[in-house]
Amino acid sequence: MTASTCLNRLTFTGRVDAVFIYIINIGPSEQKTVMLVFALVITFSLFQKYLRRFYGFQEVDPAGRRKRSLSSKLKDMQSFFGLNQTGNLDSYTLAVMQTPRCGVPDVHDYVHSQGNRWTKNVLTYSVGRYTSDLPASTVDSLIASALDMWAKVSPLRFIRSFSQQADIMVEFGSNEHGDSFPFDGPKGTLAHAFDPGEGIGGDVHFDEDELWTAGFNSSASDCQTEGTSHQSQAGFDSYLEKFVGEMWDVGENGVLLQGVFDNDRVLPVTCLSPTPGFNLYLVAAHEFGHALGLRHSQNPESLMYPTYRARKTHNLLSSEDIMNINVIYEPSIKRPYYYPRLSWSYPFKPWYAGSYFPMAVKEKCSPGLSFDSVTTLGEAIFFFKGGYLWIKHNNKNDVKEGPIYNFMPKISSKIDAAYWLPQRSAAYLISGTDTDSSARSSYWTVKGSQVKGRDKNISSFGFPAWVQQVDAAAHIHRTVHTLFFTQHLYWKYNEHRKAMEDSYPRNISDDFPGINKPISAAVYKHGFLHLFLGAEVCKYDIK
């Protein structure tokens, strides 16, 4: 029997129990074939479910039109996690899909979204249904600590409430639990949260089918019991019992050990060695990020990375997380400069309102306004003009503005071209020289708000010597190529190979109909390439 025949059989019956009844009645070799195909079917089902849930995959839209292919959505997922964008379900991609993670999608066109910030800085929270895995007092302590972590790096403050109308309601539930987003059982989706807003907005739900613990891979350097022996020493009670395969005296293997022996009470602690369970503090801290308006980040070091991994709880927030929360909830006291929000966002929602320019700019600038360069940078759009910069965030009308050096102190010259490389969480800002027209342009690499190292010559991209300046640039994340525009020509740079593609440069007018004047800026957004021709903008679908 061939695998194809088996697959047809599986497709015909459509039932798991029928598959096993069928297996009983065939030979060993055929059983292996059927089981292999059955495993492939289960894997494919997981694959489709994952892309539907976290990347908005639909075979057809409500109007019956065909949507983007499964392979195309898979490339989006692979791009988000920094994998090779093959469009195929390889072992690396499958491993990511099987990793326990947050239930909030990585794309933004989902009904969880209710807004992206609270309009107040003092928020109430309440714990409704508790988990049976931990004492209520321990849950209360971990929840308070997770919120306090965000309070320490932002102007936000959190007040415990016992009302069901608190801004942030925390609850544990299984399967269908009242919000139309059912959990999926152990070791799948751990929790989910809702953006700030009324009603369910800001609420955080944990899957009660998971095993929740009070610590995992956590720092315990301040434990009073660390390094003590099995006898009563240094004023501690004697203890003889083992815990999860390790002696109680191995302080570095747990968290919350301080005070255990003084108060004669046992706290649930997950060992550093491989054991079941998820650190409630880690997961809660991540979900509260969503409840405050943060999206998922592509940066594995960010707390807002979608998948769960055990980590030390000391200095849990990355610099990116701290910058992002402060861009949303900045203090009323004006800072010397503002940091851009940097967590990458999938481009689904409109990034302009009635115009390609930020509202604040449109209101006070002439209709003929043009920009030197435009780029996405995380969840923001950066507009450069002369030595000036405007920053507009998705779905928000507020615009930050000021001299470029206020945001990036190392840069004082105008930016001729710029592009954002999400897989590296880096922006590349290209600038010519204002003092010597014969000198070649150079570029800076920017991560976070930090300009990394010195500027480099554009020759490192592979431009020939006669190319002195770049007019515009845009990165097409779906093809991992960056397009550079120079006068009437454009170049295609492969970010994986770090080399220009063969058969380039090409004439801009040959591939972009309607371009009859120099391109001043370019940006790739929503799957379209936008070319700025002075105050005009042309939009192209990039295949």
Give the tens place of pLDDT for each residue, 173-224.
998 887 778 898 898 899 999 989 888 889 999 999 999 998 743 333 333 3
Q: Is the pLDDT of residue 532 over 50?
A: yes
393 is in an annotated binding site: no
Sheet arrangement for strand 399-403: 373-377, 380-385, 388-393, 399-403
Measured CA to CA, the distance from residue 391 to residue 400 in angstroms comes to 5
Q: Give the pLDDT score at 208.
A: 95
Mean pLDDT check: name the lowest of 85-89, 112-116, 185-189, 375-379: 112-116
pLDDT digits (tens, 9 = 90+) for 307-343: 998 877 778 898 889 988 988 887 543 333 333 333 3
Q: Apex CA 436: angle with CA 435 and CA 442, to 5°?
A: 95
Q: Give the pLDDT score at 153.
A: 92
* Of residues 379, 201, 180, the one with CA closest to residue 294: 379
Measured CA to CA, the distance from residue 128 to residue 226 in angstroms comes to 35
Q: Is the pLDDT of residue 168 over 90?
A: yes
- Chain Cα centroid distance, residue 76: 12
Measured CA to CA, the distance from residue 85 to residue 76 in angstroms comes to 8
Q: Give the pLDDT score at 433.
A: 56
262 is in an annotated binding site: no
Is the dihedral angle over the CA atoms 61, 64, 67, 71 positive or is it negative? Answer: positive
**Amino acid letter, residue 243:** F
Q: Give the pLDDT score at 190.
A: 95
Token readout for 180 is 């139309």
Q: Is the pLDDT of residue 245 over 60?
A: no
Mean pLDDT check: name the lowest of 169-178, 256-265, 344-353: 344-353
207 is in an annotated binding site: yes
Across 148-152, 240-244, 468-472, the highest mean pLDDT is recorded for 148-152
Q: Give the pLDDT score at 394.
A: 64
Measured CA to CA, the distance from residue 111 to residue 127 in angstroms comes to 23
Residue 248, C-beta contacts closer than 8 angstroms, at least 6 positions apart: 225, 239, 241, 242, 257, 260
Q: Give the pLDDT score at 365.
A: 54
The secondary structure of residue 253, as a DSSP letter, is G
pTM of the model: 0.50
- Higher pLDDT among residues 264 and 488, named by residue: 488
The residue-averaged pLDDT of 523-528 equals 85
Torsion angle defined by CA atoms of residues 40, 42, 46 and 52, in that order, rounded to the nearest 10 degrees:
90
496 is in an annotated binding site: no
Contact 223, 251 (CB under 8 A): yes
Considering the chain, what is the average pLDDT of its residues? 73
Residues forming the active site: 287
Contact 218, 312 (CB under 8 A): yes
210 is in an annotated binding site: yes
471 is in an annotated binding site: no
102 is in an annotated binding site: yes
For tokens 């965000």, name the residue. Answer: 150
Alpha-carbon distance values, 532 to 35, 368, 517, 524 (Å): 56, 12, 10, 11
Band (527; pLDDT cuts 50, 70, 90): confident
For β-strands 189-193 and 204-207, DSSP reports them as antiparallel
For tokens 């060992």, name the residue. Answer: 271
Measured CA to CA, the distance from residue 311 to residue 192 in angstroms comes to 20
205 is in an annotated binding site: yes
**Backbone torsions φ then ψ of 263, nearest 5 degrees:** -100, 0
290 is in an annotated binding site: yes
Helix (H), strand (E) at residue 125: strand 122-127
Q: Is the pLDDT of residue 125 over 70?
A: yes
The full set of domains in the chain, from first to last, is 3-98 (no CATH), 122-216+277-328 (3.40.390.10), 359-541 (2.110.10.10)
Which of helix, strand or coil describes residue 286? helix
Which of helix, strand or coil describes residue 466? coil
DSSP H helical ranges for 111-234: 136-152
133 is in an annotated binding site: yes
Sheet arrangement for strand 426-431: 417-421, 426-431, 442-447, 450-457
541 is in an annotated binding site: no
